[in-house]
Amino acid sequence: SQQGEEDPQALSIQEGENATMNCSYKTSINNLQWYRQNSGRGLVHLILIRSNEREKHSGRLRVTLDTSKKSSSLLITASRAADTASYFCAALYSGGGADGLTFGKGTHLIIQP
Amino acid sequence: DGGITQSPKYLFRKEGQNVTLSCEQNLNHDAMYWYRQDPGQGLRLIYYSQIVNDFQKGDIAEGYSVSREKKESFPLTVTSAQKNPTAFYLCASRARDRGGYGYTFGSGTRLTVV
């Protein structure tokens, strides 16, 4: 399986603090994406970073990509209670073979008011 | 507004029955996907389709079947051959450029075997 891993599996912080989640993947990627899932709902696309990019920002989100270490991190700054959700990284692998994103198992983030 | 509609939201199946989950999109997306999510787990790819009348197996296709007769629709049938079908099923779609866009997901169907 090419499934990646997120770290940590669960994270609980106080409102206003920053939250950092990490993701590792297996082989060369086309891009890496981060998604958010509220309990029992579908996934919402947050941000995409291409393999030739190292950092990307979107509002309070900052994503980095280190292709030499096959890892990515998602930073949420100034967290809010509404950020409580599960966050998944998903790799789009390069080359031929099956299409479709390969998801990690997710980080469950709890923001305490 | 454009989006993906999955129905039903909840589905109960008896042992030995086939059930079909609906997925419809009005985003004019070419590619569509079915994923399965088990509690506390990530998503695993069941089937995908890049164009009409064509589809490919994903990582866990056994016990499932799909069709893609229309661009807008990609129904998933969970057959009696699927031994552990209780899960949350998510449908997704994307535009043609696989390198540049994220996927759009439906709100999911929760299937329970009774």
pLDDT in tens, A27-37: 899 899 999 99
What does the DSSP assignment read for B21-77? EEEEE-S--SEEEEEEE-TT--EEEEEEEEETTEEEE-TT-TTEEE--SBTTB--EE
CA dist list (Å): A40 to A43, B20, B106, B108:
10, 20, 12, 8
B87 phi, psi to nearest 5 deg: -175, 175
Lowest mean pLDDT among A87-101, B31-45, B57-71: A87-101
> Residues B46-104: pLDDT tens digits?
999 999 999 999 999 999 999 999 999 999 999 999 989 999 999 999 987 666 678 99
Closest residue to B90, CB basis, from A33, A43, A106: A43
Between A1 and B47, the more confident residue is B47
The pLDDT value recorded for residue B49 is 94
Q: Which of residues 51-90 of A touch B (CB under 8 A)?
A: 88, 90
The pLDDT value recorded for residue A2 is 54
Map residue A63 onto helix, strand or coil: strand
Q: What is the DSSP letter of A27?
A: S
Q: What percent of chain A has pLDDT over 90?
A: 74
Which chain A residues touch B2 with a CB distance below 8 Å? none
Closest residue to A98, CB basis, from B40, B58, B88: B58
Q: Do B103 and A45 touch (CB under 8 A)?
A: yes
Q: Give the pLDDT band (50/70/90) at residue A4.
A: low
Contact present, B84 and B63 (Cβ < 8 Å): no
Q: Give the pLDDT band (50/70/90) at residue B41.
A: confident
Q: Is the pLDDT of residue B107 over 90?
A: yes
Closest residue to B102, CB basis, from A3, A45, A104: A45
Q: Is the pLDDT of residue A97 over 60?
A: no
Closest alpha carbon within chain A to B108:
A42
The pLDDT value recorded for residue B102 is 86
To the nearest whole Å, the CA of A53 is away from the closest chain B CA by 12
Candidates A59, A94, A22, A48; CA nearest to B104 is A48
In B, what residues contact A, Cβ < 8 A?
4, 6, 31, 33, 35, 40-45, 48, 50, 56-59, 88, 90, 92, 98-108, 110
The pLDDT value recorded for residue B97 is 67
